[in-house]
Amino acid sequence: MRLALAEAERAPLTGDVPVGAVVLGQDGAVLARACNEREATGDPTAHAEVLAVRRAAAALAAATGAGEWRLTGCTLVVTLEPCTMCAGAIVLSRLDRVVYGAPDPKAGAAGSLWDLVRDRRLNHRPEVIAGVLPTESAALLTRFFRPTDY
């Protein structure tokens, strides 16, 4: 989670909301990392989770030479509970587990508002581990949305 927090700290430099994500391989090695880049790129889908998933799939494909996109055995670590778009990407990429820091009661799709990632109607349901370093994760968001004047 600390690596994801470090990624999140980079996002405000481009005006992006401080969310960071890291994808770990089966062996625990970092496959990919990302922060939100919507403002930086003008891409509404450039959430940290989606970017990290894309980069991890590309890393696996390059390593295997087989064009493998399934992230079976991998873990996504993200500072904020994924939204519905990111939850969809998580399910479709076949990640085994999602670890997140702060819950998102307004848009969370891994247990707070919705629970898309564990919907029994879907063909893949990753394990969800919530509340890892939630105070640190939430503090980044609070500072971004409510900056203090000194």
Query: Which string of DSSP letters, residue by residue, matches 24-72?
Result: E-TTS-EEEEEE--HHHHT-TT--HHHHHHHHHHHHHHHHHSS-----T
**Does 35 show up as a binding residue in the annotation?**
no
Q: Angle, nearest 10°, between helix axes 48-64 and 2-10?
A: 120
* Active-site residue flag, 39: no
**Does 74 show up as a binding residue in the annotation?**
no
Q: Return the sign of the alpha-carbon dihedral for residues 47, 33, 92, 114.
A: negative
Please pick, among 9, 37, 39, 49, the residue that the annotation labels catalytic: 49
Token look-up 């999140």 returns 8
Alpha-carbon distance values, 127 to 22, 68, 124 (Å): 16, 21, 10
Catalytic residue ranges: 49
List the binding residues.
47, 83, 86
List the binding residues for Zn(2+).
47, 83, 86
